[in-house]
Structure 1
């Protein structure tokens, strides 16, 4: 129809039909969100066949807001406990903090699975990130109170202090941007704040990138430190390479059951670093490409909407300057 250049009445009818199709699709999507959905495998294991679908839209928003408040409050508590552990060396306080991390990430994975059932579009990596963090927190919780632990303890607490600070920054700024974009209809109502960086955060939030990359480098440094601890002569929770090579076989055998945990922690921190930095870095070229495409499209739309392009305006100015110069030369000739 568009190739045959329809009449103005036909164009209006086509435009009306396109708007009607979009409206129908939106209505069907809203109806789909109201229908109950099946739980995923993780929720079936945790909750069984309990229906977690929230049918009321206001209840969905309320549950999402509770999720956001839960993350903010627990980040604050984690920050306080991390600072306390930096200055107070009490085993009970350490275990309390580690147990809080385990409970926090376990609860986070359950809540995010419920949000996913109810229409949230959280990316797969960030959910996997929280599952891995749950495992890491559990291993840290059962790490015995040894000299090797105290070599890593201070670094771990500083890491959690910085992570809590960055999470607070992300929560405050991402929530504000999400609120504005949702009001403009550019984001989904069930979108949530995350630990990473998405393309919609580019508006005024690009300053968060240095903080995020610092967290990722800290994770890599943790992995390196834990790997170096595997060579500690008094290591009890990791396969000590020096112990395996130089000590007696019987003693090395007694160390082996404990020795598989710290290299595992090093591997987990490295996986977190790699997944976070790759996922976040993939957003930047994608966003730059989208920005160039948008600029080009806006330029084409402006040319189509306004026949007098900047080139024509420039030609007009040049012709006016030429006419002015010629008139001045004529006046000069007359005066001579």
Structure 2
């Protein structure tokens, strides 16, 4: 009797879930159709732009409620990338309950907080020990230990970010690809022989610059975690961001924060490219001829260029959004 009752309950729950799933999919499809119709009418100049803007705001609000509420669990899960399938297999990582999704996000934020301090302290400690104890020459084991930690760090970030995207977060693909490149660079660096005497300072110049760049990135991560997350919570409260959105890159900052963060980010990207070019130079002039040097140099330049382009695109998007908001505010004043 208990077995039959349990089976009946599961069958009933399954049917109800299927019904809710169909309703959620139908509503999502309706929102897309209405948005497409609005865009078509605007292009044909058959709809007042101001009225269209209000409709778009209502649609955006409805879409946010659908994708950010409990109904999001009944929407079709996005296809998982190869990275997750490679590590976890063909399993669905989308949480069925919103509180579980938010728990994943909070764990990701905690992971970033913990690793940001280590990102700053680890290379700083190595450089201090290099000057005070190791007589200006880094031993191989501590550097390789740091590179192994970087591999663990970037793998963990990429794993968490892929899971967040599967649960509705807005992380841009480039930041995940950036972590893929960083993972590859850390893996290659583990096979890189750290040479000492003679000419230790010249041979380890690239390693020293990389550690200095890592310290700069640690500072940038701390600033992002501290200031931008507060702004993101405000945007979520105003309905301008999804509850699953996270801080990434330089977005979500207000004007004052961007004035602080952008110079640091651009300086860090320029320094990253400089370190990459320096590694390539040392390989081509014959100072250090290992293939790992060339590979790490190319990856650093690639990441620097990608970060710079993505930062510019984000700033342009924010600029267009602010201009649009100013125009919408000025219209009622003129009326």
TM-score bracket for the superposition, by shorter chain length: 0.7 to 0.9
Q: Which moved more, 1:169-178 or 1:226-235?
A: 226-235
Q: Tell me whether 1:52 sits opposite 2:93 in the alignment.
A: yes
Where do 5+ consecutive residues of structure 1 fail to align?
1-16, 238-259, 305-336
Once residues 233 and 296 of structure 1 are traced to their aligned partners in structure 2, the CA distance between those partners, rounded to angstroms, is 58
Q: Aligned in 2, Cα 1:303/1:127: closer, same or farther, shift over 3 Å?
A: same
Q: Which residue of 2 aligns with 1:197?
A: 250
Q: Which residue of 2 aligns with 1:323?
A: none
Aligned with 1:107: secondary structure? helix
Q: Which residue of 2 aligns with 1:124?
A: 173
Q: Which residue of 2 aligns with 1:219?
A: 272
Conserved in 1, the CA contact under 8 Å of 2:283 and 2:289? Answer: no
CA RMSD of aligned residues (A): 2.4
Residue deviations 1:107-165 (CA, integer Å, cap 9, x gap)? 11111111111111111111111111111111112110225652222111111111111
Once residues 135 and 18 of structure 1 are traced to their aligned partners in structure 2, the CA distance between those partners, rounded to angstroms, is 42
Q: Normalised by the size of structure 1, how large is the TM-score?
A: 0.72
Q: Which residue of 1 aligns with 2:39?
A: none
Conserved in 1, the CA contact under 8 Å of 2:171 and 2:245? Answer: yes
Once residues 288 and 61 of structure 2 are traced to their aligned partners in structure 1, the CA distance between those partners, rounded to angstroms, is 65
Once residues 130 and 150 of structure 1 are traced to their aligned partners in structure 2, the CA distance between those partners, rounded to angstroms, is 24
Q: Normalised by the size of structure 2, how large is the TM-score?
A: 0.72
Q: Which residue of 2 aligns with 1:33?
A: 72
Residue deviations 1:177-197 (CA, integer Å, cap 9, x gap)? 111111121111011111x22
Conserved in 2, the CA contact under 8 Å of 1:143 and 1:149? Answer: no
Conserved in 1, the CA contact under 8 Å of 2:105 and 2:244? Answer: yes
Once residues 272 and 57 of structure 2 are traced to their aligned partners in structure 1, the CA distance between those partners, rounded to angstroms, is 49
1:76 to 113, 117, 131: 117
Larger radius of gyration: 1
Q: Which residue of 2 aligns with 1:157?
A: 211
Once residues 167 and 212 of structure 1 are traced to their aligned partners in structure 2, the CA distance between those partners, rounded to angstroms, is 10
Where do 5+ consecutive residues of structure 2 fail to align?
1-54, 130-137
Q: Aligned in 2, Cα 1:229/1:203: closer, same or farther, shift over 3 Å?
A: same
Once residues 21 and 219 of structure 1 are traced to their aligned partners in structure 2, the CA distance between those partners, rounded to angstroms, is 42
Q: Tell me whether 1:169 sits opposite 2:223 in the alignment.
A: yes
